[in-house]
Amino acid sequence: MSPKELVGVVVYGSERVGKTSLITKYIDGSFNKDDYSQSVGIQMYKKRGVRFQVTSASNEKSSEPETGSTTDIDPGGRQLQSHTDVDIVILEATDTGCIYARRDWVYIKMSVIILAYSTTDPRTLANARSVLERARELQSKAKIFLVGLLADCEEKRAVSFSQGQEVAAEFEVDFRELSAAVDGDRVNGLFADVAPFLVLRDKSVKRTSAADLSVWRKIWKAVMPWSSS
């Protein structure tokens, strides 16, 4: 069986909201409250050996099960194809809030945006609202999850659950609060919910034509249009 990977998700939001902690918690279960490093540009992470399910509706390929996958039927009668030993590739990018440094590739190229804000800083929710407004302006087709982080810091909480919920309802996006420090199961649950919306591709296929550029080359061309193809 050819090795597979899932691509098309970015964890996005203001700086110091816990984006990196969310990703590393998912990848290896680790959390270090004293380890803060500001993300510069685009960071890429990979978790190997992920198991996930896609419905026949979200998988454009044949409904015939592949080698290394199993097929079940859910209560709604949809076909669910389970894949094993798949790598998931996660991008991280910081919203600078600068009109001259808009990362429009986030809205145009990505299948899923995990939009993070801090429950301890109202400004980050305001920034997240601006991102949602930009997504609406660009008519983004990305599936968006609005995620309030640092939910365990109740003594520092400055954004209520209902405030985040109201923003999510206004823009009709998924919403949840969690803590990368203590909510390992909920972090895993978030990425399990993300997986069906991602692009499943064969890592061994060599892409040489312009039509078959990988997601990452498309992103690079969008961010650095002067670079060579």
In order of their start, the domains of the chain are: 4-223 (3.40.50.300)
97 burial via Cβ count (<10 Å: 0-12, 13-18, 19+): middle
pLDDT, residue 194, reads 93
* Contact residues for 136 (Cβ-Cβ < 8 A; gap 6+): 171
Which is it for strands 112-118 and 4-13: parallel, antiparallel or unpaired? parallel
Question: What pLDDT, in 10s, does the model give residues 50-87?
Answer: 877 655 444 444 334 344 444 444 444 444 456 667 89
Taking alpha carbons only, the member of 87, 86, 9 closest to residue 42 is 9
Question: What pLDDT, in 10s, does the model give residues 18-49?
Answer: 999 999 999 999 887 666 566 556 899 999 88
How large is the C-alpha radius of gyration of the chain? 18
Kindly state the helix (H) or strand (E) to which residue 111 belongs, with its residue range.
Answer: none
d(CA 128, CA 159): 13
pLDDT band at 96 (very low <50, low <70, confident <90, very high): confident
